[in-house]
Structure 1
Amino acid sequence: MAHGGNIIDELTTDHREVEDLFGQIEASPSGQEERKHLIDEVTIELVRHSVAEEQYLYPAVREHVANGDAMADKELKDHSEVEKILKKLEGCSADDPQMDQLFLTLKESVTRHVQDEESNLFPQLRTACSAQTLDTLGEKIRTAKKMAPTRPHPSAPVTPPANKLLAPGAGLVDRARDFVTGRGKS
């Protein structure tokens, strides 16, 4: 899908891409290497997306939206849950009997999170921010995703400034590991 536009458009496009990957995973045979590759792809996308949200979306929600602190805290809790599931999936081989159940748990958690963001958080942010602010945040999100890690790091900081300082380094290491192993290359 084409990316661009304001933060809400950018993140909504990411949501649709992840939903598409979920459909591909469900259509692939259990225990097959193809399924593991697709789970690696969805992991890469979810981690990059989450890191970018943690760097720019949730600070903007805290700053601009009424009761933004509570909303951001809830979303960060959701991210923590997803990251732990992704870490467990990362350790699974294609034929691991645990993989299918972990995938279903991941899909349920991500789907619930996406519905909450799209029906609650995004409309409130759109109302609270100018179009220019939303566009600027969209650019920041796109830049952050390019530098973000591609593997789950459940112990990494999730709030600024620490996450903005450490994520690019972790991202560099992850991308080097991915290059050497061929992970994420279909």
Structure 2
Amino acid sequence: MGHGGNVIDELMTDHREVEEIFGKIEALPSGGKNRKMYADQATMELVRHSVAEEAYLYPAVRKHVAGGGALADKELEDHAKAERIMKDLESCEPDDARFDALMASLMSEIRMHVEDEEQNLFPRLRAACPPDALDDLGDKVRQAKKTAPTRPHPAAPDKPPANKMLAPGAGLVDRLRDALTGRGKPD
């Protein structure tokens, strides 16, 4: 969380980190207890990443990229699908019959979303947005991830200004819950 560089470099590093967690999940046998810990870690990273994108990346895409409104709306739809899957996954233990199916669905959804962003959205934004603006967005995304929620909140607003006002409060509550329960940490 918080790697440095412009917004595209920052978000691509996040993508690699989540893919690494997915690889750990895939390497474990079905029902393995550590699968839940890694699923929680993936969810925590994905939620922070998504909140930051929704607050800063997608408004910049709308502003700078031709046809950016439709592009941002499509990405928000992807986030909504992933968030619903993560919400369902949150209540599953690794030996639950739904866990593997939900995890496979989440990984598929995220991998398609990442490919779309990296092959389509990021190159278009890089071409349309000045380098100093990309650097500034990187700083804003890093700051947003520090206070963002760590649990899925499908009913929460996903567009400014409401998302920017509500996310830090939800993030504080989520981080307190995570600390009290040890969520995402080895037993």
Which bracket does the TM-score occupy, shorter chain normalised?
A: over 0.9
Structure 2 CA distance for aligned equivalents of residues 55 and 28 of structure 1: 34
Q: Give the corresponding residue for 1:152.
A: 152
Q: Give the corresponding residue for 1:118.
A: 118
Q: Is the 8 A contact 2:149 2:175 kept in 1?
A: yes
1:98-149 residue CA offsets vs partner (Å, 9 max, x unmatched): 1001111111100100000000000010011111000000000000000000
Secondary structure of 1:94's aligned partner: coil
Q: TM-score, normalised by structure 1?
A: 0.98
Q: Give the corresponding residue for 1:3.
A: 3
Q: Is the 8 A contact 2:61 2:69 kept in 1?
A: yes
Structure 2 CA distance for aligned equivalents of residues 94 and 174 of structure 1: 22
Q: CA deviation at 1:32?
A: 1.8
* 1:49 aligns to 2:28 (yes or no): no
Q: Give the corresponding residue for 2:179.
A: 179
Q: CA deviation at 1:173?
A: 0.2
Please give the residue correspondences for 1:25-174 in structure 2 after superposition, counting only pairs within 5 Å. 25-174=25-174
Structure 2 CA distance for aligned equivalents of residues 59 and 28 of structure 1: 38
Structure 1 CA distance for aligned equivalents of residues 114 and 55 of structure 2: 17
Q: CA deviation at 1:184?
A: 2.1
Stretches of structure 1 that go unaligned for 5 or more consecutive residues are: none
Q: CA deviation at 1:94?
A: 2.2
Secondary structure of 1:4's aligned partner: coil
What amino acid sits opposite 1:36 in the alignment? K
Secondary structure of 2:151's aligned partner: coil
What amino acid sits opposite 1:37 in the alignment? M
Structure 2 CA distance for aligned equivalents of residues 23 and 97 of structure 1: 20
Q: Is the 8 A contact 2:92 2:98 kept in 1?
A: yes
Q: TM-score, normalised by structure 2?
A: 0.97
Q: Is the 8 A contact 2:44 2:151 kept in 1?
A: yes
What amino acid sits opposite 1:17 in the alignment? E
Secondary structure of 1:66's aligned partner: coil
Q: CA deviation at 1:182?
A: 0.6
- After superposing on structure 2, the runs of 4+ consecutive aligned residues of structure 1 that deviate more than 3 Å are none
Secondary structure of 2:54's aligned partner: helix
Q: CA deviation at 1:2?
A: 7.5
Stretches of structure 2 that go unaligned for 5 or more consecutive residues are: none
Tell me the number of residue pairs that the alignment of Structure 1 and Structure 2 aligns.
186
1:35-89 residue CA offsets vs partner (Å, 9 max, x unmatched): 1000000000000000000000000000000000000000000000000000000
Structure 1 CA distance for aligned equivalents of residues 150 and 89 of structure 2: 14
Structure 2 CA distance for aligned equivalents of residues 170 and 31 of structure 1: 31
